Amino acid sequence: MNSPASATPAYDATPPKSAGGIDWLFLIAVLAIAAALARVIYYTPFEAVQGPAQKIFYLHLPAALCAFMAFGVVALAGIGHLWLGDLRLDRAAESSAEVGVIFTTVVLITGPLWARPVWGTWWTWDARLTLTLFLWFIYVGYLVLRGAIDDRALRARYSAVLGILGSLLIPFIHLSVYLFRTLHPRPIVIKPSAPSLPPEMLTTLIISFVAFTLFYIALVRQRYRLAAERDLLELEEGR
């Protein structure tokens, strides 16, 4: 195999665009989240058994889906970076990982808040809870690794390796913890047959998911700009 290091250019020449002015996408995303929350609170019926506690589901599931999407982006950008040696892909991975950790944190906070009244316990070693907790550990480790390397090209390569291995690990953690019995609600939306959620609840969920996805993209875009400015600064300082 050829030395992969030689394929990695030090920095891509295109200077990042200035992030001045209002970030309209971010504004729209925040408004979308507000609108989705308003619909969740005022225009969506209570679930018959769980009552108001169930409404946290409209935050919990979209956050979980966005976290998975974020970590998927980390792995794909990592593969792309190792292949093309483009630092823009590394910045995308970095941004997506950070936002993914935030969304995973949201999942880990909203889950116990719901579980306490409904299951009667804050935490249980259920398969999906354990998987989410380990996702959090893997990608917090990813951020720690990034912070521990000064050399920009090396940081990009190591992060790509960990991002790819992390995505390979997820099915194994899932399988090994799944063999413990699971308490988590069966999938009611993402499953082979039609979603078994009443239409108004499903609409709220979809609105919420779209809002969260917009928010994810807006956050990653912001974070990417920050990473680009930092890289530019480091380049100018000649580090």
Partner 1 sequence: MAPSTISAALLIARKDLAIEFRTRTAFFSAAIFALLGIVIFYFAWDPTAVAPVDLAPGVLWGIFTFSGLLGLQRSFGIEQADRAIDSLLGAPIPRESIYLGKAIANLAFVVAVQLIAIPAVQLFYGVPLLEHAGTLAIIALLAAIGLVAVGTLFSAMAVNTKLAEMLLPVLSLPFFVPVVIPAAQATARLLAGRPTDELVGWLKLLIAFDIVFVAACTLAFPYTIEE
The stretch near partner 1 (CB under 8 A) out of 25-33, 103-111, 133-141, 191-199 is 133-141
Identify whether the C-beta of residue 97 lies closer than 8 Å to the C-beta of residue 70. Answer: yes
Phi–psi pair at 232, nearest 5 degrees: -65, -45
The stretch near partner 1 (CB under 8 A) out of 15-23, 58-66, 150-158, 207-215 is 150-158
- The reply to whether 165 sits near partner 1 by the rule CB under 8 A is yes
- The reply to whether 239 sits near partner 1 by the rule CB under 8 A is no
| Nearest-angstrom CA–CA distance, 201 and 81 | 40
- The reply to whether 151 sits near partner 1 by the rule CB under 8 A is yes
Q: What's the Rg (C-alpha) of the chain?
A: 20
Question: Which token pair is 21?
Answer: 């002015």
Residue in 27, 35, 137, 232 binding partner 1, rule: CB under 8 A: 137
- The reply to whether 181 sits near partner 1 by the rule CB under 8 A is no
Tell the smallest beta-carbon distance from residue 200 to partner 1 (Å): 40
Tell the smallest beta-carbon distance from residue 5 to partner 1 (Å): 5
Residue 105 has a CB neighbour count (10 Å cut-off) of 15
Q: Report how far apart the first and last C-alpha atoms of the chain are (Å, whole number).
A: 30
Identify whether the C-beta of residue 164 lies closer than 8 Å to the C-beta of residue 78. Answer: yes
- The reply to whether 9 sits near partner 1 by the rule CB under 8 A is no
| Nearest-angstrom CA–CA distance, 168 and 162 | 10
- The reply to whether 164 sits near partner 1 by the rule CB under 8 A is yes
Q: Which residue has the tokens 């009244």?
A: 117
Give residues with Cβ within 8 angstroms of 152, minimum separation 6: 10, 11, 87, 231, 234
Give residues with Cβ within 8 angstroms of 52, minimum separation 6: 46
Question: Which token pair is 171?
Answer: 């099915």
- The reply to whether 18 sits near partner 1 by the rule CB under 8 A is no
Tell the smallest beta-carbon distance from residue 232 to partner 1 (Å): 23
* Sites for partner 1 among residues 77-106 (CB under 8 A): 82
- The reply to whether 22 sits near partner 1 by the rule CB under 8 A is no
The stretch near partner 1 (CB under 8 A) out of 2-10, 57-65, 199-207, 222-230 is 2-10
Tell the smallest beta-carbon distance from residue 103 to partner 1 (Å): 18
In the complex, the residues that contact partner 1 under the rule CB under 8 A are 1, 3-5, 82, 134, 137-138, 141, 144-145, 148-151, 154, 157-158, 160-162, 164-165, 168-169, 172-173, 175-177, 179
